[in-house]
Structure 1
């Protein structure tokens, strides 16, 4: 007998135990009946089977759920617009809002570094033509101003950057720009104030030669930032760099000759400095040696004069005590000193004949030689 045949104990034969459950509708058949009643109810409201109203309601609920929530990334800032007008600013994270079109969210990248590259050909202060390639890096600092203050903030920055480069670079001569593109030898003149009033005032107060000399790139950055702030563009300039600063190709050969001459000049100056660094220390050392020698001679002469004066004072003292003895001793010392430097004559005749020999003969005699009168007379004979 099949399990679903009619008879007694049907509840025991039914594997789902339908007849044993309370109310008789707890099983799968009861769930089907519940869904059937719901479809019938909503089908009446929708006007037909399938429930058009149900589909529309589900889509509406899904749309409300999706349009009422928004997620702002960590690199973004959300600007909420209520009927197209600024309402509030959303920080990174998950947020709820009124569904569109009541409120919409404009997401702005605030941490991303943007770049603008440009090149201008312009006149310098000494009326020379120069070509400048520059790069500007910036980011959004105020999303609200970025969206509503200008029609195209990026294009506004490009035009302001070109104006800043022209005002700063055009205020310097060709030599200042080519030889030292990173340093400004002088402050900006008053003509540059139209592009950057605050920067011009700041640079006018700076005197040439100060240690904190402002570079051309920094001047350009300050002028550009001042212009963007006056436009309320909501942009912050992080860096300005000059990629290439050179004369145009039409006059490049002439400027190459000028640069070559400048390098030759610098080479000659360096050689002159090297020679000066070599000669000056030698001259200084020689001068120091001469001065030291002169000081030594001075000290020697002073000491000698002092000794002579002291010796004279001693002799004077002795002379006052015994004039005759002192005169005799001085005469003997003087003769001893004189005879010590002259040829010696030795008289062997007992003082009868004294012959003064010529200097030539005396110089030929060896020390201690004895010359007689006969030898001397023979020397005089022809």
Structure 2
């Protein structure tokens, strides 16, 4: 940056000190012209130089990520677009150029080591992170809040003049909102599936509170970094979590067994019922058939009792002796001392052999 006898130009965020400029100019003249005394003309030139420097101090530049706000005697006068601009020198006008597109980050419950963009957790702050849940448990919460200047109309003005320390305000509101949300929640959901719900709730509550303050701040994201029980009881808590996982696993196994056994039992029941129904139908049909047959036989018996009785007797003998070797002996036939004997078995065999021999002869002849 170029410098003159009065030193480097002042920053736009700080008003120039005219007495300091004059002192630097006098020192520069003494160094250039040692032992010389300023005459009236020299004083006039010195005064003119001071006026030129004072007038030149009104130039300032607004960067692309900034908004320029010009104050005239401490009152808002106008907004300035990015680029090179001019304001009346101090103390008439003053320019403020806050960063309006930069995403700022505030960490609660922890302090990041080194680069603030890193997610790795550094030193923790228990007085910020320890919170009480709705079921009276203590949880250690570390989270980050990302924010920027609100892009709405007059957002930059609200950001500059409605809140004195914007970062401290965002941090206080974030901690308060998180404590409120955690205080309404149970421990187990927060540690498992309720993290996104908590982030969304804190985001909405923070934005609502900052809008009530007229802070001109837009919350872009709330990110939970860590949600754990306190360090003193984390081992015991992990044991409890492991026991719950085992219980859930056993329950799932029991449910799987039930899902397998119950359908099998229902299938067996249905099979037994169907078999019983089939047996019932079969028994009923057989009983009806036997009853019909008995009625038919009875009707024939009524018409001819002797014939029917003899036919039934013969049919019974036929069923009884069918497929068995039979020998008939008649005790009332023949002379005394002679046993009438009819070898039906031998006759049957001879008949079968003769029939087989006839069949073979017929086959040979053919």
Please state which band the TM-score falls in when normalised by the shorter chain: 0.5 to 0.7
Identify which of 134, 145, 149 aligns with 1:136: 145
| TM-score relative to the length of structure 2 | 0.60
Q: Which residue of 2 aligns with 1:236?
A: 218
Identify which of 230, 253, 261 aligns with 1:279: 261
Q: Please say if 1:333 is aligned against 2:315.
A: yes
Q: Which residue of 1 aligns with 2:28?
A: none
Q: Which residue of 2 aligns with 1:108?
A: 98
Count residues with an aligned counterpart. 274
What is the CA distance between 1:162 and its match in structure 2? 0.9
Q: Which residue of 1 aligns with 2:327?
A: 346
What is the CA distance between 1:123 and its match in structure 2? 2.7
Q: Please say if 1:127 is aligned against 2:127.
A: no
Q: Which residue of 1 aligns with 2:170?
A: 157
What is the CA distance between 1:300 and its match in structure 2? 3.5
Name the CA distance, whole Å, in 1 between partners of 2:293 and 2:326: 32
Q: Which residue of 2 aligns with 1:182?
A: 194
Name stretches of at least 5 consecutive residues in structure 2 with no aligned partner: 1-39, 110-128, 335-343, 348-366
Name the CA distance, whole Å, in 2 between partners of 1:324 and 1:103: 146
Q: Closer, same or farther in 2 for the Cα pair 1:303/1:165, shift >3 Å?
A: same
Q: Which residue of 2 aligns with 1:216?
A: 198
Cα deviation per residue 1:312-370 (whole Å; 9 max; x = unaligned)? 676577667767655554454344335559x66531347659xxxxxxxxxxxxx9489
Alignment map for 1:53-92 (pairs within 5 Å): 66-67=59-60, 70-73=61-64, 75-90=65-80
Alignment map for 1:309-328 (pairs within 5 Å): 311=293, 328=310
Q: Closer, same or farther in 2 for the Cα pair 1:52/1:107, shift >3 Å?
A: closer
Q: Closer, same or farther in 2 for the Cα pair 1:368/1:115, shift >3 Å?
A: farther
Alignment map for 1:349-368 (pairs within 5 Å): 349=330, 352=333, 368=345
Q: Which residue of 2 aligns with 1:99?
A: 88
What is the CA distance between 1:57 and its match in structure 2? 8.1
Q: Please say if 1:117 is aligned against 2:107.
A: yes
Question: What is the RMSD of the two structures over their aligned residues, measured on CA atoms?
Answer: 4.0
Cα deviation per residue 1:253-274 (whole Å; 9 max; x = unaligned)? 3323322322332232233223
What is the CA distance between 1:237 and its match in structure 2? 1.9
Name the CA distance, whole Å, in 1 between partners of 2:67 and 2:184: 39
Q: Contact (CA 8 Å) 2:132, 2:183: kept in 1 or not?
A: yes
Name the CA distance, whole Å, in 2 between partners of 1:327 and 1:76: 126
State the secondary structure of the residue aligned to 1:109: coil
What is the CA distance between 1:124 and its match in structure 2? 2.7
Q: Contact (CA 8 Å) 2:70, 2:87: kept in 1 or not?
A: no
Name the CA distance, whole Å, in 2 between partners of 1:351 and 1:232: 137
Name the CA distance, whole Å, in 1 between partners of 2:297 and 2:345: 33
Q: Contact (CA 8 Å) 2:55, 2:88: kept in 1 or not?
A: no
Identify which of 167, 173, 190 aligns with 2:180: 167
Name the CA distance, whole Å, in 2 between partners of 1:291 and 1:77: 85
Name the CA distance, whole Å, in 2 between partners of 1:351 and 1:304: 43
State the secondary structure of the residue aligned to 1:76: coil
State the secondary structure of the residue aligned to 2:105: strand
Q: Contact (CA 8 Å) 1:97, 1:103: kept in 2 or not?
A: no
